[in-house]
Structure 1
Amino acid sequence: MVTRPESTGTETGDDSRPLSVPEACEYVWRSALTDSTVGAIGLELESHVVDLDNIVRPVDWGALDPLPAEVRAAAGTSSVSREPGGQLELSGPPHASSAEAITALRADVDRVRAVTAGLGIGLVPAGTDPLRPSYRTNPSGRYRAMEEYFAATDPAGCGVVAMNSTAALQVNLEAGPRRGWAQRVAHAHRLGPVLLAISANSPWLHGRSTGWKSARQRTWLGLDRRRAGPVLDVRSLANATDPAMAAVAFALGAPVMFVATEHDERAVVRHEVTFEQWARGDVLLDRRLPTVLDLDLHLTTLFPPVRLRGYLELRFLDATPQRWWPAVAAVTATLMDDPIAADLAAEATEGTGALWTEAARDGLSDPRLAEATRRCLQIATDRAPVALAAELEELAELADSGRSPGDLLVERIGKVGPRAALAESAREPRERSVLRGTCTPD
């Protein structure tokens, strides 16, 4: 994808000097979206890491740290990283089409899965970890500070779950031409509930059923909306104007999570201070005003479902096994980037753009989402790459039955129990993987 421009908020180019509120606004506005051509796509897939000999035991961080050379080699063109709870993420480079991106990432995931299995480690692509407690294994100072921040500000515990027990499929798309930004960003938000309902794969969490189709999304909905809510007002998407200005308001109005100090440490902000308050000088953090570097760090702690990073980062899809995620990615890209499909999908989702809670809780059992999904999948099947036709038809059949991947997990757990279902998903090849759902907090 296109990258964010270099520091534009300081005329001197000195990222260490204090940043004023107007400069902060300009920096976020300029970096939110980049004038580009629609078409390129990047994919990222997270998976929970499990011990194949003891499926319910947290995997020791040292088992994959540093990442063995054979794992990095197996990842091919994808980069490999680790999330707070030890989740393994494969991030593919931009490709010219969804078919190319899906083919490349699928091959990389297959190779990595084979190599980690030889190390006694299984990978489970599911929206939430269905059995194990939410436990941080990544020793990174960033994640340690994030954990401390949530402990001080998030009594419901959603932050700890989001960090350590969730996994997503992320689809990254170009912002497109400047003249179409308002419509394109609004369209991504409008499609969100339907795409979430299609991918919902997290009905279990912490060893029990949650009653939600996507416990992962419920967890993110439970966080401070100033940090994890939508950048645009989903109740008035038809009136959306400049999404970059909405990104400015979102960024400056969000509380600061932590501040970088000397020796690359992170000082947690345990009392509420928005970035605007800091830049205005109402409060001094680390006894100083913020810099561009502080603003860059702050932007990495914001998790809206559609994040503007020069390109569009769609963060609201549950991770699913390889039987399903290629079709989910293809549907998403087609309904966003194919102009005919996008226009038709806009009509199909006109009444469902604000149904984020309903999509996470009820999924395709909500008749409004079921109808919009049926229409969107038909549109995508007609317009998506021919190479992905079989995957799309299978996903459409599943949705027509009123189910998402997570419903299949519920069925399997009912037959063999949660431990056996998790073990099957961790051990079996993608064609026979059964874990297609996970969980939600209480």
Structure 2
Amino acid sequence: MSIPQSGGGPIERHEQLAEYLEAGCKPKDDWRIGTEHEKFGYCKDTLNPLPYEGERSILAVLEGLRDRYGWDELREGGHLIGLTKDGANVSLEPGGALELSGAPLETIHQTCDEVNEHLAEVKSIADEIGVGFIGLGAAPEWMHEQMPLMPKGRYKLMDAYMQKVGSTGTTMMRRTCTVQVNLDFGSEADMVQKMRVALALQPVATALFANSPFFEGKPNGMKSYRSWVWRHLDKDRTGMLPFVFEDGFGFESWVDYALDVPMYFVYRDGKYIDALGQSFRDFMKGKLPALPGETPTLSDWADHLTTIFPEARVKKFIEMRGADGGPWRRLCALPALWVGLLYDQGAQDAAWDLVKGWDAETREAWRVGASEQALQAEVGGRKMQDLAREVLDIARSGLKARARPGLGGMVQDERHFLHALEDSIESGKVPADELLDKYHGEWDGDLSRIYAEYSY
């Protein structure tokens, strides 16, 4: 999850809220790709999740990365809670999952190199202390009480609030992992089309990347349990956002939506101040109970935007949030999918043509079907596998049109990063299906075998 935002002056006009988002508009030559991925850490001998402190711990991994590879510290309340280097940062999810938020990069070749380097660094530290890391959408065996809450003020507040709204908030915080990609937009109109495509086709990503069929030691009946968790989390800040598809949607519409999302906190002087359930609209008027008489800064607005969790999210860029964490090949495939769809205008138009006739009920039905059945889902007589095939064809055409070579020109473009998804389309099986086949087959119900076979 996000680290505190900084650098914003006082908000003196309502218009500054939309202007903040609009400042993200960039010419196409300046568009970049930011990939984020989370993974669970565990002790290799006990297969238990990592504590924050100790010989085999999250802290030991962070310190190792800092000391051996030159990462700079991020601290809160005296605790080491993250690292930063060269535009990237390493942070902690609430239950201790380790996240890389990658630097903004020009090509997927660079993104994949970044992923490789990060995983190699983490593995070199982890192997020495008897720790492993695994990419899954949900913790396969661990119970809630086994998961330590990391020492971040944001998480302490969220943990308390999550128990009052929805039914799965604390599960999301402690026992799910994702991979996501962040992409730029060129104008308000471009943002609108990208967001509509992103939301409508997020279920296709959920299906292709479904990788969480187990929970608390047994099959859970879902292909993407992580997606099911998000569907039952907090209706005020999650979902498929039908208003994005209404006439007139733009930056101001997003501001209106965000202002109605209840607050979590205000960050001041290194501390998180409890503003749970309070209104940013009241904050704008100087009437926030948590800080009476005080009005927000743009940093407060940026922080608030990070507490909104729909399937796709607008900040100064757009975040694609529908995919489970997973194996290496899919960490590179997710940016390839979305860059192919959204960084070539012809491909973006084709993707919009594919979905523009859908209504809100259809989009939600695809979302539900993706989490439950992945590529076997069917809506209105149409199969997810066939829809995903069309989407992949469009993404492939977009990557071909981008024509960004790699390996010193030896690789013509970025299309080969889609191979893992193409294999799934042909077989009809995603990672969750493979895991279930093994569980019911050669593993003979022994889920502990997942660690040795699927860790990085």
User: How does the TM-score come out when normalised to structure 2?
Assistant: 0.80
Distance change in 2, residues 1:374/1:141 (3 Å): same
Distance change in 2, residues 1:257/1:189 (3 Å): same
Equivalent pairs counted in the alignment come to 404
Aligned partner of 1:97: which letter? T
- Cα distance in structure 1, aligned partners of 2:41 and 2:281: 39
Assess if the C-alpha contact under 8 Å between 1:48 and 1:124 holds in 2: yes
Distance change in 2, residues 1:165/1:27 (3 Å): farther
The correspondence of residues 145-164 of structure 1 with structure 2, limited to 5 A, is 145-151=157-163, 153-154=164-165, 156=167, 158-164=168-174
Assess if the C-alpha contact under 8 Å between 2:92 and 2:99 holds in 1: yes
Matched, 1:285 2:309: no
The correspondence of residues 390-405 of structure 1 with structure 2, limited to 5 A, is 390-405=416-431
Matched, 1:360 2:371: yes
Matched, 1:60 2:40: no
Distance change in 2, residues 1:295/1:384 (3 Å): closer
Identity %: 26
- Cα distance in structure 2, aligned partners of 1:266 and 1:141: 8
- Cα distance in structure 1, aligned partners of 2:241 and 2:9: 22
Aligned partner of 1:377: which letter? L
Query: What's the offset of the Cα at 1:45?
Result: 0.9
* Aligned mate of 1:247, from 242, 254, 264: 254
Distance change in 2, residues 1:344/1:223 (3 Å): same
- Cα distance in structure 2, aligned partners of 1:137 and 1:337: 38
Matched, 1:225 2:231: no
Matched, 1:331 2:337: yes
Q: Deviations over 1:204-244 (max 9, x none)?
A: 1222222122111111121222222345536xx2x443331
Distance change in 2, residues 1:27/1:228 (3 Å): farther
Query: What's the offset of the Cα at 1:353?
Result: 4.0
Aligned partner of 1:115: which letter? I
The correspondence of residues 27-426 of structure 1 with structure 2, limited to 5 A, is 27-33=16-22, 34-38=24-28, 39-55=31-47, 57-62=48-53, 63-65=57-59, 67-70=62-65, 73=69, 78-134=88-144, 135-151=147-163, 153-154=164-165, 156=167, 158-233=168-243, 237=245, 239-260=246-267, 264-267=271-274, 269=276, 272-280=277-285, 284-292=289-297, 293-350=299-356, 351=358, 353-354=363-364, 355-367=366-378, 368=382, 369-384=384-399, 386=412, 388-414=414-440, 415-416=442-443, 417-426=446-455
- Cα distance in structure 2, aligned partners of 1:389 and 1:412: 29
User: Which residues of structure 2 form unaligned runs of 5+?
Assistant: 72-84, 401-411
Stretch of structure 1 that moved more, 289-298 or 134-143: 289-298
Q: Deviations over 1:406-435 (max 9, x none)?
A: 211112222312111133222xx5xxxxxx
Aligned partner of 1:300: which letter? T
- Cα distance in structure 1, aligned partners of 2:20 and 2:241: 15
Distance change in 2, residues 1:347/1:93 (3 Å): same
User: How does the TM-score come out when normalised to structure 1?
Assistant: 0.83
- Cα distance in structure 2, aligned partners of 1:339 and 1:117: 45
Aligned residue in 1 for 2:403: none
Aligned partner of 2:165: which letter? D
- Cα distance in structure 1, aligned partners of 2:289 and 2:254: 23
Aligned partner of 1:360: which letter? S
Stretch of structure 1 that moved more, 286-295 or 125-134: 286-295
Assess if the C-alpha contact under 8 Å between 2:111 and 2:332 holds in 1: no
Stretch of structure 1 that moved more, 384-393 or 141-150: 384-393
- Cα distance in structure 2, aligned partners of 1:404 and 1:97: 25
Assess if the C-alpha contact under 8 Å between 1:412 and 1:421 holds in 2: no
Aligned residue in 2 for 1:16: none
Distance change in 2, residues 1:180/1:301 (3 Å): closer
Q: Deviations over 1:304-347 (max 9, x none)?
A: 22221111121222111013221232112111112222222223
- Cα distance in structure 2, aligned partners of 1:300 and 1:382: 32
Assess if the C-alpha contact under 8 Å between 2:169 and 2:234 holds in 1: no
Assess if the C-alpha contact under 8 Å between 1:231 and 1:246 holds in 2: no
3-state SS, counterpart of residue 450 of structure 2: helix
3-state SS, counterpart of residue 127 of structure 1: coil
Q: Deviations over 1:110-140 (max 9, x none)?
A: 3322332222111111111111123233111
Query: What's the offset of the Cα at 1:252?
Result: 0.8
Query: What's the offset of the Cα at 1:41?
Result: 0.6
Assess if the C-alpha contact under 8 Å between 1:327 and 1:388 holds in 2: no
Query: What's the offset of the Cα at 1:401?
Result: 2.0
Stretch of structure 1 that moved more, 340-349 or 417-426: 340-349
Distance change in 2, residues 1:199/1:205 (3 Å): same
Query: Which has the bigger relative contact order, CA under 8 A and spacing at least 6?
Result: 1
Aligned residue in 2 for 1:434: none
- Cα distance in structure 2, aligned partners of 1:70 and 1:6: 27
Distance change in 2, residues 1:233/1:202 (3 Å): farther
Aligned partner of 1:27: which letter? Q
Aligned residue in 1 for 2:404: none
3-state SS, counterpart of residue 53 of structure 1: coil
Stretch of structure 1 that moved more, 159-168 or 304-313: 304-313
Distance change in 2, residues 1:263/1:36 (3 Å): closer
Aligned partner of 2:264: which letter? M
Query: What's the offset of the Cα at 1:95?
Result: 1.0
- Cα distance in structure 2, aligned partners of 1:92 and 1:333: 15
- Cα distance in structure 2, aligned partners of 1:281 and 1:349: 42
- Cα distance in structure 2, aligned partners of 1:364 and 1:65: 39
Assess if the C-alpha contact under 8 Å between 1:61 and 1:86 holds in 2: yes
Assess if the C-alpha contact under 8 Å between 1:99 and 1:330 holds in 2: no
Assess if the C-alpha contact under 8 Å between 2:275 and 2:289 holds in 1: no
Aligned partner of 2:289: which letter? L
Stretch of structure 1 that moved more, 225-234 or 298-307: 225-234
